Amino acid sequence: MINNRRDFLKQSLMSAGALALMNAPRLSAASDKPPMRFIFMHRGNGLWPRVCVPPSLDAKTMEREKRKEAIDVDLEGHDLPKWLAPLALHKENLTILQGLSGKMCTTGHHSWCSSLGVFKANERLSSIKWATVDFELAKLFPSPAKHIELACFPDGGGNARGSLEGIATGFSARGPQQPNYAFGSPRIALEELFKSVSTDPKARTQYQLDRKVLEFVARNEGATATLLAGAEKIKVQNYADSVESIRERNLKIDAMAETIRRHVPKLDAKYLDPAVSTFDRQVGHSEVLLGALISGLTNVVAFTVDELGHRYTGIPGIEGEKVNMHDVGHNKVIGGLKAETIRELARTHHMTLVDRIVKRLKSVPEGGGTMFDNTMIFYFPDGGETHHSHGWEYPFVILSGDKARVDLRRRYIRLPNYGQPGHSTLGNFYTTLLNAYGNPIEHYGALDTGLNKFGHGQTGPIKQFLKT
């Protein structure tokens, strides 16, 4: 032991050998624990808080609900709202969470990345402040594809206006000013995500060509870098390494070919048809999502189930209509169906998708349980409480597997109302998720300037949800 500077001077001149041993690298044990999976399903046109309330709550609790006071009840013994009936079998895993505000987001008709990133996205690239929460979670649970985004793009107004059949700017963000790309149709998603095992000769050729170019670029840039030194070398080497890492990722995907091949979604022709209805498009996307998760291509999926600017087709009873969801937001009767009915039909269909996902994941064995044990699904509105939302409320329907690290199972929760002590925002909720899964961030998301005057503080996780 060295206690003073004399010892230091003596030892510093003769301690080389010992230090070499002291600095031996630490071995890190590889983990075979299954990763967590996260599915963010968001939809446009708002989600009314009133339709998320279990109808069987007692009168006293209903009064509290009306006054938007805090509620936390066990869902056991309670009826679910009718549109949530497809989830009845999964009540053990279900939480309806109400009372989160998001006034720091862009609200109203179109909110783009706002509700996933907790900032005002303003439909402007420069407004994207940071990676959206799904990307932050993807960093914690890496996978070959890192993150996959699927969307029923708006084809009318609003951002992100993508081609229904193409790959276009999505609703998630990879980092500041870096919007992600989303697959607009099950067909394009299938082609791109599973191209390594495609049976289509044209796709296989394209796959080989892309591989060839990447190999070429990696070699080319690597050769340039070797001729340089210092900072200039790093500038090129960094780029060459990035190309190389994509190649390595591709190699990993190639090595997983057998697994991927087994889980390539088997979609009927109608789901691949460019004229696929919205309802079927959503089913197709759900199948792609399942294929990507189960094959291990990704652990995080963002799924824009719909957006206000998306013109719906395939709604039961008015299948032939191309329904403008903005009109629905303004309570118009379309094809003889009331707007509220159309809303309910769409929501119910969304829940059948969630049911499909949960059931399938529950059928995949993993780590002594099922894949669903390590999964969380979030269904929520991108703009808030209604068509012309202000961000007062973002209701969430959450499905959590047994091994989720947040305490959100079989409950109906209403958090204290805006401005009240204990009130929470989207930022608090995402901070909870990130903290629970290993990102110690103090607070995720922008702050709400309007909340400040209440003086209750608005940063940090929602502690009651964190499992101790």
Partner 1 sequence: MKWDPNSFGQLWLGVLIFTVAVDVASAAQKKPVFSVSSETTELLESYCFSCHDADSKKGGIRLDNLEVLALKDRLNLLNKMQEKLYLKEMPPSKKKAQPSDTERQQLYQWVSAELGKHNASKFKDKLRYPSYGNYVDHEKLFSGEIKDKPFSPARRWLVSPRIFHDRVMDVFRLEGRERTGFATRQFSGVKNPFILPEHSGVRDYDVTMLDGGHLLVMLSNAKWVAGKQIFAARLKTDEKESLLNSLSNKDRWYPKVTPVAFEAIVLKGGSPTDDEMMAAVQEQFDCVLRRKATDEELAKYVELLRASIVLSGNAEGLRQMLFAVLLESDFLYRLEFGGGEPDEFGRRKLTPYEASMAISYALGDRSSDPGLLLAVAGGRLETKEDYRREVERLLADESYYKGPVDHKISGKNMRSHETTHPKQVRFFREFFGYPQAAKIFKDIERSDGYYQNPGRGTLGTPGFLIKEADRVVDWYLQYDKNVFENLLTTEEFFVYHDKDNETGRKIISEWTEAYERLKDTDWKKNPEGVLAEHMEFIKTKDSLRRWVPEGGHQRRTFLRFMHFFSDTIGKGRTPFTTVATSHGYTYHHSTFYSLPPTPHRGRYERVEHKNFKGELEEAEFWDYPVEQPFKISKRKGLLTHPAWLIAHSSNFHTDPIKRGRWIREKLLAGRVPDVPITVDAQVPEDPHKTLRERVESVTNKAECRKCHQQMNPLGFPFEIFDDFGRYRLDEPLEYEEHLVAKAKKKNGSNIYKTKSVSTQGELRGTANPNLDGEVSGPFDIIDRLAKSERVRQSIIRHAFRFYMGRNEMLSDSQTLINADRAYVKSGGSFKAVIVSLLTSDSFMYRK
- Give me the DSSP letters along 281-311: HHHHHHHHHHHHHHTTS-SEEEEE---TT-E
The answer to the question of residue 363 lying near partner 1 (CB under 8 A) is: no
Of the candidates 206, 250, 341, 348, which one interacts with partner 1 according to CB under 8 A?
206
Tokens representing residue 368 in the block: 């002594």
CB atoms within 10 A of CB 58: 10
Task: Kindly tell me which of 12 and 363 has the beta carbon lying closer to partner 1.
Answer: 12
At residue 359, what are phi and psi to the nearest 5 degrees?
-60, -45
Whichever of 224 and 341 has its CB closer to partner 1, that residue is 224
Beta carbon of residue 163, minimum distance to partner 1 (angstroms, whole number): 4
Structure token digits, residue 206: 């394209």
Residue of 384, 309, 343 lying closest to 108 (CA atoms) = 384
Concatenated DSSP letters of 403-430: T-SB--SSEEEEPPPTTSTT--BHHHHH
187 is a site residue for partner 1 (CB under 8 A)? no
Answer for which of 31, 199, 449, 468 binds partner 1 (CB under 8 A) is 449
Map the footprint of partner 1 across residues 36-75, applying CB under 8 A.
none
Should residue 238 be labelled a site residue for partner 1 when binding is judged by CB under 8 A? yes
CA distances from 412 to 121, 151, 192, 212, 431 (A): 30, 29, 39, 54, 20
Q: Which is nearer to partner 1, 224 or 417 (CB)?
A: 224
Q: Select from 233, 48, 259 the least CA-distant residue to 143.
A: 259
Q: How far is the CB of 109 from partner 1 (least distance, A)?
A: 8
CA-wise closest residue to 429 among 138, 159, 115 = 115
Q: Are 240 and 218 within 8 A, CB to CB? A: yes
| List 58, 79, 216, 422, residue binding partner 1 (CB under 8 A) | 216
Q: How many other C-beta atoms are found inside a 10 Å radius of the C-beta of residue 247?
A: 15
Count of residues near partner 1 by CB under 8 A = 74
392-150-405 Cα angle (round to 5): 60
Please state, in angstroms and rounded to a whole number, the distance separating the CA atoms of residues 209 and 250: 13
In the complex, what is the shortest distance from the CB of residue 283 to partner 1, in angstroms, rounded to a whole number? 24
* 65-73, 243-251, 341-349, 362-370 -> range binding partner 1 (CB under 8 A): 243-251
Burial class (CB in 10 A: 0-12, 13-18, 19+), 233: middle
441 is an interface residue for partner 1 by CB under 8 A = no
Residue 213 or 251 with smaller CB distance to partner 1 = 213
Applying the rule CB under 8 A, the residues between 150 and 179 that interact with partner 1 are 161, 163, 165-169, 174-179
Should residue 27 be labelled a site residue for partner 1 when binding is judged by CB under 8 A?
A: no
Instruction: Pick between residue 80 and residue 131 the one whose CB is nearest to partner 1.
Output: 131
388 binds partner 1 (CB under 8 A): no
Residue 372 or 418: which CB sits closer to partner 1?
Answer: 418
Q: Which of 61, 101, 106, 277 binds partner 1 (CB under 8 A)?
A: 106
Q: What is the dihedral of CA 334, 336, 340, 345, to 10 degrees?
A: -90
- Helix (H) / strand (E) element for 174: namely strand 167-175
The piece of 12-20, 68-76, 275-283, 378-386 that touches partner 1 (CB under 8 A) is 12-20
Write down the residue that tokens 């091994």 correspond to: 403
Helix axes 278-294, 339-362, angle to 10 degrees: 20
- Return the number of the residue (37 or 120) whose C-beta is nearest partner 1: 120
Residue 281's alpha-carbon distances to 238, 292, 360, in angstroms, are: 40, 16, 18
Q: Quick one: which of 56, 181, 341, 366 contacts partner 1 (CB under 8 A)? A: 181
2 lies in the site for partner 1, by CB under 8 A: yes
Q: Which of 82, 208, 330, 438 binds partner 1 (CB under 8 A)?
A: 208
- CB nearer to partner 1: give 209 or 255: 209
Nearer CB in complex with partner 1: 320/440? 440
Residues 107-136 that bind partner 1 (CB under 8 A): 108, 110, 120, 122-127
Give residues 393-432 in contact with partner 1 (rule: CB under 8 A). none
Q: Considering only the stretches 15-23, 251-259, 277-285, 420-428, report the one whose residues sit in contact with partner 1 under the rule CB under 8 A.
A: 15-23
